[in-house]
Structure 1
Amino acid sequence: MRLDGVRILDLSRLLPGPYATQLLADSGAEVVKVEDAGAGDYARSMEPLTDRGTGAIFEMVNRGKRSVAIDLKSEDGRAAFYRLVAESDVVLESFRPGVVERLGVDYETLSEHNAELIYCSLTGYGQNGPWADRAGHDLNYVAIAGLLDMTRESPDATPQVPGYPIGDMAGGLFAAFAIVEAVLARELGNADGEYIDVALADVVASFSQAVAYQALTGDPAEPRPGETPLTGGLPWYDSYETADGNWVTLAALEPKFWRAFCEAVGREDLVAEHGSDDPDVRAALRAELEELFCQRTRDEWEAALADVDGAVTGVYAPAELDEHPQFRARDLVERHGDAPPRIGFPARHRETPTETSEAVPEQGEHTRRYLAEVGYDEAAIDRLLESGAVR
């Protein structure tokens, strides 16, 4: 489904909201960043910086968008925004609850200007509940949702901060999904306008399905890495160090994969150990696998088992993504002109998608264009620029 013809006004900053609208822009939507007339999206200046002096995170999630700069605290600025809303399909915001009401850009107000408007609020804890007004970032959301606790192998171990901002990215992804869902419902005639409340903490919590039963029923009461089937409790589903200090993963959950692996490494004697509940058998099997995998390097194991359905892959660093033949074949890392490389849209369509711009907008670069489009003449635009209502 292409989103050509869908216009989205993005009031968000930093990572979750812009990632959501980047996915939508990559799907063909027209995304207009509505930045304040002061600093704008402060991800523009966050380190690390690209060679062009722009925040790397900003460049990664704002390709092909437009930017208008509006002071929503001014009457003239709000009036200009209302005109844009009347000609748009979606508004996404990520302010703390209550801010949009004070600014006069809440759903109830904006729906008076566009009855078919889809409005998505993307926040840390959602619009209700005792934590709704709390400040937070990704680390807080993965903490409350149980993910950070699940990085500890025992209650005495230190939680390990995930290598990627899971809450930010998951929340952005789910916001994009919810927006597409609402657009589709509207186009099918099942709804008009829609208000969507997405909480990053909720989305991370929904990722706990693999351990939710044990956690919610107390069987066991506190699932831990190294104890549950998908967190290292099974020796045939774990990671192992190799001869060069790298690691490989073995994920032979199904007996057929385990058998294929055992036969490929000449250890048919281990086939019958699969599925054992005996802790002593599992411990002995893990020791055997540790000794086995340390006999070759990561790349040697991958080469040796490349044609074996044993579910073995190496552990790679993010810096190695660009060189991996699988990601190269998928054209996942994109390069366009002098723009920094980026991880592209992670889905492929049979039909060639409409070409999208890779330009990163300057703050307010398209203000004049969009104001003219919604009915302001040149003199009126000049007055707004001079007053500071827009930039």
Structure 2
Amino acid sequence: MIGGSPLLSGLRVIDLTRNLPGPFATRMLADLGAEVIKVEPPEGDPARALGPLFKSLNDGKECRTLDFKAEADLAQLRDWLTNADVLLEGFRPGIMASMGLAFESLKAINPRLVMCSITGYGQQGLWSHRAGHDLNYMAMSGALDQMRSAQGEATLSNIQWGDLAGGSSMACIAILAAVFKARHSGTGCHVDVSMTHGLWAHQVMPQATSAMLAPMLGKPPGAREDLLNGALPCYNLYTTQDGRSLAIGSLEHKFWKATCEVLGRPAWVMQHWQRGLMPNSPESKHLRDQVAALVATQPLSQWTERFADVDACVTPVLTLAEAQQHPLFTGEQTRQPWTIKP
């Protein structure tokens, strides 16, 4: 999944989380060199039922078992926490306190401890005790509404953006910032991560572009009406002759010019938003339809071959199986999301 690195060597993390958001966060920390101790209840992490998922999330961690209902086991956990740097938990608000593990009591035994809590809606507020899953966090944050089909229907992503982007990634960033402070001040803190609010924070582009385009449309942009979700002919998904998809991402004019050369349509070169073509205008929609009609005349393999050596930001939409076999991902070194050199 992710290659190893010694950057966080010496960082000790106690992970009480299960399923996806917390385990992926600590997997990233482990891959960066942290020592991660995964603490599971006697019945184990529910992800164990999905073997490959559990392995991908928990490789490189030391797995231990404790009964969170047994005081002797909770005492053992407190002992482990005396020399830990980070505690990550994903229980509903109030559960840690009910077990005698509230942050106020834990920092009394380890003032440097950074405790991170990942929940759906945060530790405080009207929704803090409500249950939810990735789909709910996507829905409530407004992120799911941004993923509509061309027909306007909301679509269900197979990437768990709430768990991973709103939860895991936000947790890692905050944990490392808190550890940095603790190393300098000797004082830890409690990091409260809300996956729903994390998703809200990721919507930088739609919040900005929606405000920009709403006055022109007379309403907030819908499906295929926002700047990067289909309003631009130069930045769109097009269906090929064989029912596959071609991603044209020629957002800058220089790339659009190169795209038009491959498409054999020099008359389209100046029809670009950086040359005055307004999003959602009749002219823009007409050009989008023309590009769609042209792309539909050839199968994906033909377009892939024609754009293979052209620097135009045009790529095939690969299936997961195709991506796994692509040279981008077939080498061990190139699989890593980051490369760290001394």
Instruction: Tell me if both proteins adopt one fold, taking TM over 0.5 as the criterion.
Output: yes
**Structure 1 segment 55-204 matched on structure 2, within 5 A:** 55-152=51-148, 157-170=152-165, 171-187=167-183, 189-190=184-185, 192-204=187-199
Q: Specify which structure has the bigger relative contact order, considering alpha-carbon pairs within 8 angstroms and separated by 6 or more residues.
A: 1
> What SS does the aligned partner of 2:38 have?
strand
The structure that is helix-richer by fraction is 2
Q: Report the residue type matching 1:326 in the other structure.
A: L
Instruction: Tell me the percent identity.
Output: 37
Deviations 1:197-255 (A, max 9, x none): 00110111112111113556864643223001111111111011112221111111111
Show CA shifts across 1:324-382 (max 9, x none): 1122246455xxxxxxxxxxx5211124xxxxxxxxxxxxxxxxxxxxxxxxxxxxxxx
Partners of 1:129 and 1:103 in 2: CA distance: 22
Residue 235 of structure 1 corresponds to: 233
Q: 1:287 aligns to what?
A: 289
Equivalent residues of 1:153, 1:224 under 8 A apart: no
8 Å CA contact 2:181–2:188 kept in 1: the answer is no
d(CA) in 2 for partners of 1:349 and 1:83?
A: 34
Number of residue pairs matched by the alignment: 329
Alignment partner of 1:21 out of 21, 26, 41: 26
**Which runs of 5 or more structure 1 residues have no equivalent in the other structure?**
47-54, 334-344, 352-391
**Which runs of no fewer than 5 residues in structure 2 stay unpaired?**
1-5
> Cα distance 1:62–1:96, how it changes in 2: closer, same or farther (>3 A)?
same
| Structure 2 letter corresponding to 1:40 | G
2:266 is equivalent to residue 268 of structure 1: yes
Who is 2:307 aligned against?
305
The answer on whether the counterparts of 1:211 and 1:223 sit within 8 Å (CA) in structure 2 is no
Q: Summarize the Cα distance change of 1:249–1:67 in structure 2 as closer, same or farther, 3 Å threshold.
A: same
Aligned residues of 1:214 and 1:222 also touching (Cα < 8 A): no
Q: What is the root-mean-square deviation of aligned Cα atoms in Å?
A: 1.9
Q: Give the SS at the match of 2:58.
A: coil
Distance in structure 2 (CA, Å) of the matches to 1:330 and 1:142: 32
Query: What TM-score do you get using the length of structure 1 for normalisation?
Result: 0.80
Q: What is the TM-score with the length of structure 2 in the denominator?
A: 0.91
Q: Comparing 215-224 with 99-108, which one deviates more in the overlay?
A: 215-224
Say which SS state the counterpart of residue 232 (structure 1) adopts. helix
- Displacement, 1:72? 2.5
Say which of 30, 43, 48 aligns to 1:44. Answer: 48
**In structure 1, distance between residues paired with 2:284 and 2:331:** 38
Distance in 2 (CA, whole Å) between partners of 1:225 and 1:331 is 38
Name the CA shift for 1:348/1:100 in 2 (closer, same or farther; >3 Å). Answer: same
Q: For structure 1, which segment, 294-303 or 99-108, has the greater mean C-alpha deviation from structure 2 after superposition? A: 294-303
Runs of 4+ with deviation above 6 angstroms: none
Distance in 2, Cα, partners of 1:270 & 1:191: 62
Distance 1:261 1:158, change over 3 A: closer
User: Does the alignment pair 1:205 with 2:207?
Assistant: no
